[in-house]
Structure 1
């Protein structure tokens, strides 16, 4: 099966300059999550493989938990960077890229994907390169896409999120900086509130927001379940990350360096999918075993009501995303 990293990295490889390695290149990989998450583990694996196989040529340093930058600042740092020997790499959530390419909003559309396999159909298709191509004009080179997983909702209160809009009405939900997410929360009956990822636990514990949406690995690693009463298995949308690097740095690398990095990134991407699948099951089980937040499933009728409630969200953003592109995605997924 073709992988997104293979498609884009092959294209990226063909653009670069040739040259002889005169010194060791340094890549600073910044991300905002914990090392034990699917993204954190994939970043560590990428660094390990590069540092073992390319010793003396490339060295990767990983900075988790926003130690170096948050997702907004890291992209600005990449765009402004003009270093040919030190590159910044990051894997911000997909919603962070919407300001550079409106097509990326497709990933935020609720219930566009039935499951993670649907997501992979899109990511592994030629449509992905089309969706990310505008990023390079903004100084960012997209080289892969990593999974976290399908998202679930959590809430602090006396009842779970099952009936819409009743169970959402008047409740504040933390969202990423995404207009699609905001429209979805409103359609469900809630109040959206944008907050940086690192502020979510405190906001939940202090009642600044009542609930949030996230993949299982983030709910577990950041201990959101400790300050929430219920988790609803909604699987309403996808949480993924675009792996990007400074375009000027990447395109200036010697061909042989880029070729080796290409192969290693493909390995890390394959591993990330395994990590994410394992976390979906394992972290959910650990949360349930902790006994602090009750996990609830939606009945078929309840799920149908959720889908109906958010069915108009896609239409609100179809012009921005591109009606032709959305049709191609629906055709690809067999809708």
Structure 2
């Protein structure tokens, strides 16, 4: 009851906030820690909004899940209690399987391929689907390509049989790991360090940035540089808040969010290489593997999900895979 009252009150306060002439105070929520590129770019967005509006538009950045989980933040966006958020693709794939098509294994080979894919019309169709959730989709970002971190080395995909690999609780991800013989094991991000340390999981799919910043490699024996999946982010605004903002504020926000997303999309070319280099500099083994490492499981995955989510075929065409 308290939570429902809080959200309702927050929505009322949000809708009564003054317009640009008297100053517009906005908030953006993220689950990433302050050191993560998404959080850094969000702070850069806040700085530019303040500078370009002469201080009339302020944006408070709330990283590291200060406002709760992404599910909770989405609810706050829907009521108008939160203005903006950078949300992972998982929060949308849980509500519309079409978003999960972006998690197709080996859909693109690298960050430039991912960046190009997210600029294509099919990704735009997915962005438009955020309207049904009471959101305004402002664009896509991404994190680094997904790699495979293991407590014990794996020379072939057969060596992953039965191993517990942390994955997001999304049907597309779970199906991928199941098909290669592993046991997908959903766990929340804050639990990963201890789970890897005590053997609750045998590995995880993770990017180089998260591996370095959280020191996961100190608990493992090998990293497969597999680049097997992209991990998009969706920048959204609350539709309730958006419709009461002045036109010039919306114009400014749209332009500056696009600038922040471009910064993120371009950053990971260098970030993936830099973080991989830092990990390897410690002497930790990182071995590059291609799509062939995963064997026929990938094509089996596509055969199934083209039927379940036909938009996948369009994404394949956009990616040059078809």
The interval holding the TM-score normalised by the smaller chain is: 0.7 to 0.9
CA distance in 2, matches of 1:202, 1:91: 26
The answer for the alignment partner of 1:8 in structure 2 is: none
CA distance in 2, matches of 1:226, 1:314: 34
The answer for the alignment partner of 1:96 in structure 2 is: 91
CA distance in 2, matches of 1:63, 1:105: 26
Q: Report whether the alignment pairs 1:147 with 2:146.
A: no
Deviations 1:146-194 (A, max 9, x none): 121211000112xx23411x21112111111211110111111111111
1:294 to 285, 289, 296: 285
- 4+ runs of 1 displaced by more than 4 Å? none
CA distance in 1, matches of 2:70, 2:26: 16
> Do the aligned residues in 2 keep the contact of 1:141 with 1:250 (CA within 8 Å)?
yes
The answer for the alignment partner of 2:26 in structure 1 is: 27
Distance 1:119 1:28, change over 3 A: same
> Do the aligned residues in 1 keep the contact of 2:32 with 2:64 (CA within 8 Å)?
yes
The answer for the alignment partner of 2:64 in structure 1 is: 65
1:222-237 superposed matches below 5 A? 222-237=214-229
CA distance in 2, matches of 1:210, 1:262: 42
Flag structure 2 segments of 5+ consecutive residues without an equivalent. Answer: 1-17
1:86-165 superposed matches below 5 A? 87-157=82-152, 160-164=153-157
Distance 1:305 1:89, change over 3 A: same
Distance 1:67 1:290, change over 3 A: farther
The answer for the alignment partner of 1:330 in structure 2 is: 316
Q: Report whether the alignment pairs 1:203 with 2:195.
A: yes
| Equivalenced residues, count | 304
Distance 1:274 1:134, change over 3 A: closer
Q: Secondary structure at the match of 2:42?
A: helix
The answer for the alignment partner of 1:37 in structure 2 is: 36
RMSD: 1.9
